[in-house]
Structure 1
Amino acid sequence: MLPSANLGPSQDGPFSLGAFAIDEYNPIKVVVIGAGFSGIAAAIRFPQRVPNLDLTVYDQNAGVGGTWYSNKYPGLACDIPSHCYQYTFENKTDWSSFYSTGSEIRSYLESVVDKYKLMRYIKLSHRLIRAQYDEPSGKWRLRIRRPASQGSSPSTDLEEFEEFDDTADILFMGVGSLSRWGWPDISGLHDFKGSLFHTANFDIGEQTWQEATQKWKDKRVGVIGVGSSAIQVVPALQPHVAHIVNYVKGKTWISVPFGSDKLSELLHRDPNEENYIFTDEDKARFADPEYYKRFRHALDTELNAVYQCGLKDSAMQRGARAAFREHMQKALSKKPWIADDLIPDYAVACRRLTCGPGYLRALCEDNVDFVTTHIKRITSSGIETVDGRHEELDVIICATGYDYSFQLDFPVIGRGGVSLQEKWTPHPSTYLAICTDGFPNYFMAFGPSSSLASGSLVVLIERQVDYAVEATKKLQRERLKSIEVKKAAVQDFDEYLEHYFPKTVHSEKCRSWYKMGKEDGRVVALWPGSALHALRALEFPRWEDYNYELADGAQNRMRWLGDGQTYNEKMMKGDRAWFLNDDEIDVPPG
């Protein structure tokens, strides 16, 4: 592999011009894995900006939406304001509430897919089971599994699958960081004879959770966990079941309702309301483009104003701790002992922060128990804690999170036969959260270092897609065989991460998926800075941080200049004065 700085004159004989126009682009094949927010954005931007493109999006699910398709647990909702959890180019102005439901977000994504006619690219129920970079050709060799053709054989309870091979010039991974889950390691878990669920696999078919739980009014339900999923499940089920026991072994901050007095005034809402339901009048105002623009701008401005809360001993951090403590103690005044067991000693935002609409109120209801005694085992009829107490239960819901190691559950093999799993042991290492050395023509969204402690993740995902598109255009435009980030650049970003996080609360001792589910150690999930910082960092690619290989055995880096003309001149058709078009002329201010 030749670094771009060392590409010199041909050593294979006299140089010959390419028999192509400078903008006569070769066909290029892009494969995207995942049809959630990242994959859908990629399915829009790649065809929009890359000429002569062959695009396929594979998703293992039977529908689009990624985590918003696969998750159906009670109370599933967004934990940032709905209007900030959408594409910048595709506004939805009629969200039902400040924190929209999972089904509403899924419907939004389906509407985007329909509007931009993306199903022509998307293949559902197609699971990538192996990806390997082929060094001689500069292509990714992919192995895909899908259900066998329907109707060709008698019905069977065991679904049959078939596999096939595909290739890609560029592989874009959009599977996200919260897509791999497992059962908690609790003795006797699968001895339970009642209904057992994991929030990440709340298997209820095509029903809604409301439909699936209609017959639970006489049920006793155990909910294990105190993360964002449990905080949504408990208040969702509390009014509809006989009894809930929430088993909690950690502590967590529950934030005050989001939004300043200015924002509340703009919405005409009570600033203490936890999840404001938008009225018809609100939605009518949002239908006015100018009003909506002001509202969305104000909302995102506030969302991006809390970065300093994540800095150790900052004034904002001290203020947040005081405000959140007061909020939690007031909300738990009916059962004040819960506050003693729930309010953490660690800083606000050490772990993922949630507003938890309704959770504290639900804990105070008579049909909810809050248990901090550790679980000893699960029996056929319930849960036994280490103090010997046994609780009879009809339903157990494990809200115990995901695999946070960023280890994909299928092999991705780069140069020299090294897998991404090996490369990312003991922890992931990337360049600006979008690629890693040893894996040419490979880009990611929402991978390691991509999550945000503040700000809108969707905007960052859009920028990660934009970056991958620009790299693809460069590969195609300059007729390159491969583009691969330099190892030194990955190491430099690694060093930046190691020096950035110690000044933040995210490095403090608290069990968090930011640190791969550990109390201590390296912060692997978060971007090292604010959301706005991330957008600026990805705005202008540093192509000098990459190594390149030329295609077709070429040695002269200028071969991409072709035969000295553009395609329109060569074919004597099309616009041959495009530089005079309005979108090409940059008129300076007078």
Structure 2
Amino acid sequence: MASEHHEVILIGAGYGGLAAAKTYLAVRPSIDLLVIDREAGVGGVWAKNRIYEGLRYEWPTPGANFSDFDMRKQFGMETWEHISGTRMNEYLVRYAERFNIIEKCRFNVNVLDIERDGAQWKIIVRTTSSPSPKSLICDKLIVATGMNSKPKTPELDLSKFDGFSFHSIDMASQYERMIASEVKHVTVVGGHKTALETVGLAARAGKKVEWLIREEGGGTPWMMQATNPDGSFALKPVMIRCFSKFGTSVYKSDQWLNRFFHSGQWALGTWFINWFWKMGTNRVLGDRFKSENGAKLKPKSPSSFWLNPGGTILQEQDLEVLRMIDENQLINVKIAHITQAHGNGVLLNTGEKFETDGIVFCTGWDLSAPPLFSDKLTSDLGLPTPLQSLSAEEIKYWDNLDQPAEDKLVKLYAFLEQPPPSIFVPISTLSPFRLYRQMVPPKLAACDDNSLIFLTNYSTGQVPRTSEIYALWAVAYLENLLPDDTKDILSDKHQMDCDIALNEAYRKKRFLNAHPVRLSVAETSEHDENVLRDLGLRNDRKRMRMPTGWKGWFGLKAWWAEWFEPYFPEEYDGIVDEFLEQVARRSEQAGSQKN
């Protein structure tokens, strides 16, 4: 088998991969870096071959920005302007070209397997242009494949179905087929935002649409209108740091304001936080769900605090689809699932039958780790593993960490023990991700093996910002540049495992096992702050740039800006240079101490 060697190989050219590549080239400009991706170009889910009519990024500008590459300046866009899928792809391509990442990329590369090869890593790949596998060897490996790369489809026999069927990942290539003139009826399966968009695409093309949502599943997500009446972004409060105080906390549970709001020990605090989330829930729900057809899309949870099975943002085209659902002329919502498909007929679990020309599965993604490693290596790296394959010793070890972590959270937040009974809580057959800071395999780190790191194992609305911060942490880890305090933690497997158990307990109790990876809403800033702190960087990005003394009203302006003004991506511009300056200072201090 042919092989080639590189210092660093990065798998994935989406947001996380591009941020990591750009950061690595900034830290080590001469690095022998290879970026591989199975798509035909950069972008990940925003790769050109995955863009279709009507696809949009959920957040408006500047929500898609990297800190030092403003989409508004690149394309002459306004603040809070919506972003098409085509524009997203163009932005990421320009970013890759601007920072010389394109020349490091190799596309149409499918990863078949990853093996340990002594101190190195061996990646077995196959390209679309060559049927023969090839071996890529590297000293350092970054896996940034994202959470939306492996489609999940129901176990349904379609061998006797005469119509078309495909998963939404193939919408770009199948779109024209779905809206062809001979197609009169389309069935859409799934309850999340992609299903809503697909329903809209078919209905606007004049097709009759049957939208099927499983009764026993999580149902539809919380859907919030994107813009306020003044045109500003409705989720702008999420970008304000003080918003984090209205949510529970993983790490700051001992702070008095957190206890006041969420411990249940202060009547006024409990009343206020209940009022806050009630007002938020009413705002999100609005006056929708009044029609019999539309009411089937109402979230199962009574409060938007319990963000299960997730949340999404409605733009004007989505609101149009909801109006069409209320009219109940082209779109019919059914709480049911397909049990059989034969000829052009579909049979539902309710006993109902109807004919359809095609089925589109908007059933989401397999959010477990990509099947790139052997079962033994998967377990050793802290990646999701079938529970039945775990040893009794390993199960006992984690039970002894998980249970105290859960007990601690429930003691702090008693209401987490009794979530609303209407919420669907999935039961996983896999172990959870056991990665420190959602990135590092503890067994390797504790053995001073910093050759592998995982990125993009999180779900957050502020993807670009988090991608850049985590990319810097990842490169610092791989290059052994982290401060000594952080290195001390990384040498202590038990300390890392305790932190992992705490985050896992929070994922299960706060977000009810709805996502196998870290989901964060109000907690996003808390996680990002921890990563910055690990790097030795300041997290009060607004305060550090405000004038002091009387020009800053003796700190009042800085305090107000830090807590009550939106945090935009550009607040993090320069963190790589700040970190490198800090590394240089540490090196000088170490040299002085030796002398």
**TM-score, with normalisation over the residues of structure 2?**
0.67
Contact 1:133 1:414 in 2 (8 A): no
Does structure 1 residue 89 correspond to structure 2 residue 65?
Answer: no
Aligned residues of 1:30 and 1:169 also touching (Cα < 8 A): yes
**Structure 2 letter corresponding to 1:87:** F
* One-letter amino acid matched to 2:150: R
Question: C-alpha distance in 1, partners of 2:167/2:378?
Answer: 38
Change in CA separation of 1:190 and 1:77 when aligned onto 2, cut-off 3 Å: farther
Q: Deviations over 1:426-473 (max 9, x none)?
A: 2211101111123432112111xx222xx4121111111101111233
Q: Unaligned 5+ residue runs, structure 2? A: 249-261, 263-272, 387-429, 537-580, 586-595
Judged with a 3 Å threshold, the aligned counterparts in structure 2 of structure 1 residues 44 and 341 are, in CA distance, closer, same or farther, namely: closer
Amino acid across the alignment from 1:245: E
In the alignment, is residue 143 of structure 1 matched against residue 120 of structure 2?
A: no
Bigger relative contact order, structure 1 or 2 (CA pairs below 8 A, ≥6 apart)? 1
Hey, what does 2:499 align to over in structure 1?
A: 493
Q: How does 1:2-17 map to 2 (within 5 A)?
A: none
The structure with the larger Rg is 1
> Could you say if the C-alpha distance between residues 327 and 34 of structure 1 is closer, same or farther in structure 2, counting changes exceeding 3 Å?
same
Which one-letter code corresponds to 1:164 in the other structure? K
Instruction: Tell me the distance in 2 between the aligned counterparts of 1:377 and 1:258.
Output: 38
d(CA) in 1 for partners of 2:377 and 2:280? Answer: 47
SS, match of residue 317 in structure 1: helix
CA distance in 1, matches of 2:377, 2:336: 49
**Within 2, Cα distance between the matches of 1:306 and 1:339?**
30
What does residue 553 of structure 2 align with?
none
Q: Is the Cα–Cα contact under 8 Å of residues 12 and 37 in structure 2 kept in the other structure?
A: yes
Compute the displacement of 1:44 (Å): 1.3
Specify the alignment match of 1:451 in structure 2.
459
Q: Deviations over 1:470-494 (max 9, x none)?
A: 123326999xxxx966421331122
3-state SS of the aligned residue for 1:354?
Answer: strand
Aligned to 1:526: 519
Greater CA drift, 369-378 or 252-261: 252-261
Q: Which residue of 1 aligns with 2:404?
A: none
> Are 1:384 and 2:347 an aligned pair?
yes
Residues of 2 paired with 1:304 and 1:85: CA distance? 19
Change (3 A) 1:92 1:185: same
Equivalences for residues 288-307 of structure 1 within 5 A:
299=236, 302=239, 307=244
1:34–1:501: structure 2 CA closer, same or farther, 3 Å change rule? closer
1:360 and 1:496 map into 2 onto residues whose CA distance is 40
**Whole-Å separation in 2 of the counterparts to 1:487 and 1:446:** 22
Correspondence for 1:352 among 305, 310, 313? 310
Partner of 1:428: 433
2:532 pairs, out of 508, 528, 539, with 539
Contact 2:187 2:359 (8 Å CA) reproduced: yes
Note the C-alpha offset of 1:124. Answer: 0.6
- Residue 129 of structure 1: CA displacement? 2.1
Please state whether the residue corresponding to 2:39 is helix, strand or coil.
coil
Q: Does the 8 A contact of 1:73 with 1:202 survive in 2? A: yes
- C-alpha distance in 1, partners of 2:203/2:164? 17
**Structure 2 match to 1:284:** none
Deviation at 1:495, TM superposition (A): 2.6
Q: Which moved more, 1:86-95 or 1:395-404?
A: 86-95
Given candidates 147, 150, 156, the residue that maps to 1:177 is 147
Q: Which one of the candidate residues 469, 478, 489 is aligned to 1:472?
A: 478
Residue 360 of structure 2 is aligned to residue 397 of structure 1: yes
Unaligned 5+ runs, structure 1: 1-26, 149-159, 273-297, 517-523, 544-580, 586-590
Amino acid at match of 2:113: R
> Closer, same or farther in 2 for the Cα pair 1:217/1:102, shift >3 Å?
farther
Residue in structure 2 matched with residue 50 of structure 1 by the alignment: 28
Q: Quick one: structure 1 residues 476 and 371, their matched pair in 2 at CA, closer, same or farther if it must change by over 3 Å?
A: closer
> Secondary structure in 2 aligned to 1:539?
helix
Q: Distance in 1 between matches of 2:237 and 2:138?
A: 37
Are 1:255 and 2:223 counterparts? Answer: yes
Does structure 2 retain, via aligned residues, the 8 Å contact 1:82–1:100? yes
169, 178, 199: which one pairs with 2:168? Answer: 199
Structure 1 residue 233 displacement after superposition: 1.4
Q: Aligned residues, how many?
A: 446
Q: Residues 84 and 300 of structure 1 are in contact (CA less than 8 Å); yes or no, is this contact kept in structure 2?
A: no
Amino acid at match of 2:163: G
- How many percent of aligned residue pairs carry the same amino acid? 17
Greater shift, 457-466 or 75-84, is seen at 75-84
The answer to whether the 8 A contact 1:308-1:314 is kept is: no
Contact kept? 1:304, 1:531, Cα under 8 Å:
no
SS in 1 for 2:347: strand
For 2:199 and 2:161, the matched residues in 1 are separated by 20
Matched, 1:71 2:50: yes
Choose which of 281, 287, 299 in structure 2 pairs with 1:321. 281
- The offset of 1:47, in angstroms, is 1.2
**In structure 1, what residue type is equivalent to 2:344?**
S
In structure 2, give the amino acid aligned to 1:142. I
- Asked if the contact 1:363/1:369 (under 8 Å) is kept, the reply is yes
| Deviations 1:202-237, CA, capped at 9 Å, x for gaps | 3617xxx4x555524752111111112102211232
Distance 1:168 1:396, change over 3 A: same
Q: TM-score, normalised by structure 1?
A: 0.67
Q: Displacement of 1:307 after TM fit?
A: 4.4
Aligned residue number for residue 338 of structure 1: 294
| Letter paired with 2:144 | G
